[in-house]
Amino acid sequence: MIPDSLINLLRDAKRVAVLTGAGVSAESGVPTFRDAQTGLWAKYDPQDLATPQAFMANPELVWNWYAWRRDLAEQVSPNPGHYALAKMEQLVPEFATFTQNVDDLHDQAGSQNITRFHGNLFGVKCFDNHHMIDNWRELPGTPPTCPECGSWLRPDVVWFGEALPENVIDHAVQVVRAADVVFSIGTSSLVMPAAAVPVEAINAGIPVIEINPNATPISEHVALTLRGKSGEVLPALVEAVWGQ
């Protein structure tokens, strides 16, 4: 299942960078962003809820949607794919994880060097001034308001049309350009600017390996695609390369 060429490449690799997306958490039971929504939220398109405009139009609706997603994410655990990535970090001299996910499953699995592109589902900040608020559960209101400035509280995630945290993409581009191998795992490669990161690596001639059960816009351009679930492919990869 894992080609010898990849095994040899990884055995010699000193620097490995990984970009992950919602697919990595799918086997933990977190619905991917582009999966159809179920239950209460079936009638909404996530793309119509994850915007500042949607929040301003109906803060209660968007707050409740994120509360539902946070509750879901609180109930799940890392899967073998998350653990395999944490293991790889211990085995490769320089290993960087860049994630578009807003859950904390990479952290829970033990990964250390994580850069979040799209924020953190468990953080709460205010809309106007980005004051980070820890005790929001004790505050009244749906959503509550900021104790410092009175503006609505919102999740500390990046919405469509908003800027990513400062410098994260520049940092990622620097890291992938200096890498021996880059992985793109469980992401549809549709959302910019994150999707540009593996493309930077491809353009720099770095071998990019995609792990995804489905084809994406970068599939034709990567050095190798491993068609399968990350929770199955990644443990098999670690076993094949390092025998653990």
User: Which of 82, 106, 116, 118 touches ligand OAD (CB under 6 A)?
Assistant: 118
Q: How many alpha carbons lie under 13 Å from residue 134 in its C-beta half-sphere?
A: 0
Other Cβ atoms closer than 10 A to 1: 10
Q: Residues 82, 106, 118, 130: which is the catalytic one?
A: 118
**123-153 burial, b for 16+ CB within 10 Å, e for fewer?**
bbbbbeeeeebeebeeeeeebbbbeeeebbb
Residue 100 interacts with ligand OAD (CB under 6 A): yes or no: yes
The minimum distance between CB 25 and ligand OAD, in angstroms, equals: 9
Contact 44, 58 (CB under 8 A): no
Catalytic site includes residue 130 = no
Q: Which stretch binds ligand OAD (CB under 6 A): 25-33, 63-71, 120-128, 136-144?
A: 25-33
Q: Which of 127, 188, 207, 222 binds ligand OAD (CB under 6 A)?
A: 188
* Number of amino acids touching ligand OAD (CB under 6 A): 24
Q: Which phi and psi angles does 225 have, rounded to 5°?
A: -115, 130
Q: Which sequence positions are flagged as catalytic? A: 118
**Which residues contribute to the site for ligand OAD (CB under 6 A)?**
21-23, 26-27, 32-34, 50, 100, 118, 158, 186-188, 190-191, 212-214, 216, 229-231
